[in-house]
Amino acid sequence: MWILVVGSSAILERDDGGAAALTELGCRVESRDLWDALDDPDFSENPPAAVLVEALDQFDAGRAALVRIRAVEALSAVPTLVAITVGQAQRLDGNDGFDDFILLPYMPAELYVRIRRAEWRRSEFAGKERIKIGSMCIDLAGHEVTVDGRKVDLTHQEFALLKFLSQNRGRVFSREQLLNRVWGVNYYGGSRTVDIHVRRLRMKLGSVAEPIETVRGVGYKMRAP
């Protein structure tokens, strides 16, 4: 895997900087200055596994860099970490948009673990027994849903609806189709039942339910990866 490190030129060249630590771990590293152009056409075909923004004691510059990173389509979904000094830790906010943070000085092993954890949280896959969408994991065999490892209590029908949409990502289903496919052809409830269950899923799952989209005038779908 390769990692993109973004920071000021003085920081990027330090022997104890992120690029040096990641290289020591065996990662391929490319560096960009905080104000360099980030829309490299090569990123579209080979995006980095993660982006490390070295903000250090300039947290506002780190936030500005994240905005520019997310504006690049090829980097918009790449897990991004920010490296900061201890004095800047109190400025961290859950709404900043970073997937994780790391304090200086770097501990290479910790840096590697945090990058892999951020990758895992963003990853998506579907198998016979598990479906993973971002930080949500749907255990089909165990009939259980977790978000960031925390179990989310769903009713039988909420789980069935989430499972069905997740197994048919990208396809739009009308409310009537969902009633037939999830509740069964013998169910006599109204289509509002689907709206209620979607609303409850969104409430219980929070931000990880964002891929569940309402298609106006049609029904619902789980957005394709």
Domain 2-122 falls in which CATH fold?
Rossmann fold (3.40.50)
Higher-scoring residue by pLDDT: 120, 194: 194
Beta bridge partners of 136: 133, 147
What is the pLDDT confidence band of residue 162, given thresholds at 50, 70 and 90?
very high
Nearest to 118, CA basis, from 107, 134, 103: 134
Give the pLDDT confidence of 173-215 residue by residue, as tens digits.
Answer: 999 999 999 998 677 777 789 999 999 999 999 989 999 999 9
Cα 214 to Cα 72, 102, 154, 218, distances in angstroms: 26, 37, 20, 8
The answer to whether 194 touches 155, Cβ cutoff 8 Å, is no
Secondary structure in 3-state letters for 174-207: EHHHHHHHHHCCCCCCCCHHHHHHHHHHHHHHHH
Q: What percent of the chain has pLDDT over 70?
A: 100
Domain 125-222 falls in which CATH fold?
Arc Repressor Mutant, subunit A (1.10.10)
> 27: which 2 tokens?
């990662």
> 83: which 2 tokens?
């490296």
The answer to whether 118 touches 101, Cβ cutoff 8 Å, is no
Q: CA angle, 161 as apex, 78 and 170 as ends, to 5°? A: 45
Nearest to 17, CA basis, from 60, 64, 56: 56
> 9: which 2 tokens?
């030129």
> In the predicted model, what is the mean pLDDT of residues 16-35?
89
For 50-192, where are the E strands, in sequence order?
Answer: 50-56, 80-84, 100-103, 124-126, 130-133, 136-139, 144-147, 150-152, 173-174
Q: Which of 24-33, 35-44, 184-193 has the highest mean pLDDT?
A: 24-33
Measured CA to CA, the distance from residue 30 to residue 43 in angstroms comes to 11
Residue 86: what pLDDT?
92
Residue 13: what pLDDT?
80
Q: How many helices (H) and strands (E) does the chain have?
A: 8, 13
What is the pLDDT confidence band of residue 144, given thresholds at 50, 70 and 90?
very high
The predicted model scores a pTM of: 0.66
What are the residue ranges spanned by the domains of the chain?
2-122, 125-222
> 175: which 2 tokens?
């409310």
pLDDT at 126 over 80: no
Residue 84: what pLDDT?
93
Q: What percent of the chain has pLDDT over 90?
A: 52
> In the predicted model, what is the mean pLDDT of residues 55-80?
89
Residue 151: what pLDDT?
94
Residue 185: what pLDDT?
66
Mean pLDDT for the chain overall? 89
Pair type for strands 2-7 and 28-33: parallel
> In the predicted model, what is the mean pLDDT of residues 78-86?
93
Higher-scoring residue by pLDDT: 161, 24: 161
Q: Hunting for tokens 């009713």 — which residue is that?
A: 155
The answer to whether 55 touches 12, Cβ cutoff 8 Å, is no
> In the predicted model, what is the mean pLDDT of residues 149-172?
94
